[in-house]
Amino acid sequence: MRTDTGHVFKLEDYRPSDYLIPETNLEFRLSPRATTVTAILTIERRQGVTGSSPLVLDGDGLSLKRIEIDGKMVKPSELAASPDQLTLLKPPAQRRFQLLIETELAPDGNAALMGLYRSNNVYCTQCEAEGFRRITYFLDRPDILSVYTVRIEAPRDEAPLLLSNGNLVDKGDLGGGRHYAIWHDPFPKPSYLFALVAGNLGQVADSFVTMSGRKVELGIYVEPGKEALAGYAMDALKRSMRWDEEAFGREYDLDVFNIVAVSDFNMGAMENKGLNIFNDKYVLADRETATDADFANIEAIIAHEYFHNWTGNRITCRDWFQLCLKEGLTVFRDHEFSADQRSRAVKRIAEVRTLRAHQFPEDQGPLAHPVRPRRYREINNFYTATVYEKGSEVVRMIRTIVGPEAFRAGMDLYFERHDGEAATIEDFIKVFEDASGRDLSQFALWYHQAGTPNLTVSSTHNPVAREFTLEIEQSVPPTPSESRKRLMHIPLAFGLIGAGGKPAEYSGVDGASVEDGVIHVRKRRHVVRFSGVAERPAVSLNRGFSAPVTLSVEQKADDQFFLARHDSDAFSRWQAFNTLLTDALIAAFREILGGKQPDFPPRLIELAGAIAGDEMLEPAYRALALSLPSDADIARDIGRNIDPDAIHAARQALALAIATANRDSFAQLYDQLADEGAFSPDAANAGRRALRNVLLDYLSALLGGAALAAGHFQSATNMTDRAAALSVLAHRHHGSPETNAALAAFEQAYANDPLVMDKWFLIQASVPGPQAVDTVRALTTHRAFSIGNPNRVRSLIGTFSSANQTGFHRADGEGYRFFAQTVLEVERRNPQVAARLATALRSWRSLEPGRQAKAREALLSIASAENLSADLRDIVERTLA
């Protein structure tokens, strides 16, 4: 574990390496405690580089056994070797030479799950971002592209399956119970995309015929006995491959495509060329063990990792500052895939909710950074919502600005121009400028400048002049290291809505560039005048969430109610109702702090009932609309002096008011939505279940609600309904006989299924109230919980700290103290997981003073711990700064 505070890497300091490694040959002799890795690297001095500068290779905790140059042993005086670095002081004078390096690893003892490790007797690798240097000494940076040939040897009974990147070129017996396999990947790739898997796994096999007629063998490998749970993942993979051909013209390029599911994995999945490695929660599913959300996540993540084959693998990033070039772009692609597979409107709302829940707080806090960071100390800490989710929104804005046809032409040009290269953000923007003829230099600030822009908007209507005016002013709040901000190019999609929800006509517009329903905000202030507008319209802004901004709109409540009923843009209609709910909740929060009972507008309560019963809206949309803003959503919009208990009380009061007023219609609709026929995870059926379970949550707040939820739990025929009912019981009726019985039944039924037990942990960790910390502390001793497994830790500790506002932020600070102790315990095994957990305290300064002081004490207790890893120290020090 690296315990140094870390060198600060700066974008401005980038320079190409003096050396290249065009060919890499690796030989692994696998053993749990003493794996031998022999690397034969073809080293080539970069064209134009003169002299013989030292060759410095990266390492991380390595044990060097042997080193040779062109078959001759290297003298000790000719190198400087440590576990973390290998330097050839005087490399050969010739431009090209071969370097042999032999290292020894202990996969069994690798609890950090980076490099080569062993999970449930399966050898596995994770090399992004800097894990390859834990396998052998190397130029471990993404701009060093190499063609890999890999030979793997292992005892056949221990590891009958031997996989690596590329195509299998040879395999056979070695005698003595050992065997080998040789894999070759003809496409140059960076070291972070190297992968190896060896063990005893079951296979689900299929094939896919590409658009040019090539047959690709497909394999998904899982723990033996779980093959039946991989069927949906295989279906999602084949649909992803076909969609990428149709939407982007991208055809798969190898003879095989393999996916391996493992139970110990730091990330969701990894796009290693031709051998994707997945956290098993994103592969394994059936109606009995997986919710509709699980099925949707499997579909999206399978697609995401497959799409990386072109946006990340064939074209990779020049350096880690360009991480968004592969991640943000690929998130955009998987969002588009899911929108085409499911409901575009519902998918868009879900994307925005995720962005606001995770990226907006990041932009507003001490961990804020641009989509393309300018500096970092620990790159593992920059796999963030800003890079992924905001990075996707930036790509979406490019499409909005240049239009769909020019966007596709730009993507085609990107693939043509940069295939086989390590590219930059400048390369990416340039293809769209060339394809569209537009200047995107101001727009590029979205990549370079941190913070969430705010648009302040007011409107007036002059009936005599028949003129409607929008005044728009942009600002970007200061962020760490950026107090002064430059003006952004913000594509603001809009609509003027007239009587009955029809578009209001206008004859002309001036004050800004307006194209295809988009106002291009480029200056600090625009006064946009629409002529020929006879009656005052309601204005619908940021339609489809065209830009990741916040809006401060001077708009009457009547307009919001009108838009919530009549806006033709599905996202903006949802947003109008969500804004009304948020405003009501913030008002109730303030009333509760003032010692008053909250009072909610009757027409808001009535509108909730109308939306629930509107059969012109798809059920999934109605479910999202009726889902109240979360405690964290409300806290984010309040902004400062947060009292989580008062927020939760306001939310409970509004839910009860809606349920009470709409009891009969909700109950009738709940009954109508009961499942009929065979289970299917498709969007339509999932939407019906989602709406029914939202209605269950409301109805369970009323008298007799515990019995209703218990009946729902007992009659459930799938995990979606079963988990939803258990959650409702635990949240609405904590400690009741019905809840205790359901928790016990669930535990008994799924005690031997770790992924389902994660749901059991998650539900209990999210139950609000001061008892939560004691509940979670007790659950850490449960036999199904393991502090060394990232999934278990995320389901229990991650849920408690990020999704339980009242429990985590308990007024006496006990939640913070428990959290700090647990983070340090996790860090001793897995610094990367610990660092990501620690981000739960990024918004500590927004709390009321008492909680704020206790949160700071917890952060200081982590910061003062001995031998703190670079990963965790980086997060804690930036959070405290």
Residues acting as catalytic residues: 305
Three-state SS at 766: coil
Contact (Cβ atoms closer than 8 angstroms) between residue 138 and residue 21? yes
Q: Which residues of 832-858 are buried (b: 16+ CB within 10 A; e: fewer)?
A: bbbbbbbbbbbbbbbbbeebbebbbeb
Number of H helices, E strands in the chain: 30, 33
- d(C-alpha 299, C-alpha 282), whole Å: 8
Can you list the positions of beta strands (E) in 137-214? 146-155, 161-164, 167-175, 178-189, 196-199, 202-209
Q: Which one, of 470, 558, 482, 552, lies nearest residue 514 by Cα? A: 470
Tokens found for residue 450: 């941190």
Contact (Cβ atoms closer than 8 angstroms) between residue 261 and residue 278? yes
- d(C-alpha 307, C-alpha 176), whole Å: 41
Contact (Cβ atoms closer than 8 angstroms) between residue 624 and residue 352? no
- d(C-alpha 508, C-alpha 627), whole Å: 40
In a 10 Å sphere around its CB, with 0-12 CB exposed, 13-18 middle and 19+ buried, how is residue 485 labelled? middle
- d(C-alpha 34, C-alpha 104), whole Å: 6
* Sequence-ordered list of residues with C-beta below 8 angstroms from that of 7, at least 6 positions apart, any chain: 377
- d(C-alpha 295, C-alpha 723), whole Å: 14
3-state secondary structure 581-637: HHHHHHHHHHHHHCCCCCCCCHHHHHHHHHHHHCCCCCHHHHHHHHCCCCHHHHHHH
- d(C-alpha 656, C-alpha 599), whole Å: 12
Count CB atoms within 10 A of the CB of residue 439. Answer: 10
- d(C-alpha 478, C-alpha 452), whole Å: 10
- d(C-alpha 269, C-alpha 664), whole Å: 45
Contact (Cβ atoms closer than 8 angstroms) between residue 253 and residue 266? no
- Measured over the CA atoms of residue 705, residue 711, residue 715 and residue 719, the dihedral's sign is positive
Tell me the residue type at 798: G
- d(C-alpha 91, C-alpha 79), whole Å: 9
In the sheet with 518-521, reading across from the earlier edge strand, the strands are 513-515, 518-521, 490-497, 538-541
- d(C-alpha 284, C-alpha 301), whole Å: 12
> Which residue do the tokens 């709409």 mark?
662
**What CA–CA distances, in Å, run from 321 to 309, 374, 769?**
20, 7, 41
Contact (Cβ atoms closer than 8 angstroms) between residue 16 and residue 2? no
CA 132 to chain centroid: 23
Q: Which one, of 353, 313, 343, lies nearest residue 329 by Cα? A: 313
Three-state SS at 772: helix
- Measured over the CA atoms of residue 845, residue 805, residue 780 and residue 813, the dihedral's sign is positive
Can you list the positions of beta strands (E) in 446-581? 454-462, 467-475, 490-497, 508-510, 513-515, 518-521, 525-531, 538-541, 550-553
The vertex-170 CA angle with 169 and 171, nearest 5°, equals: 145
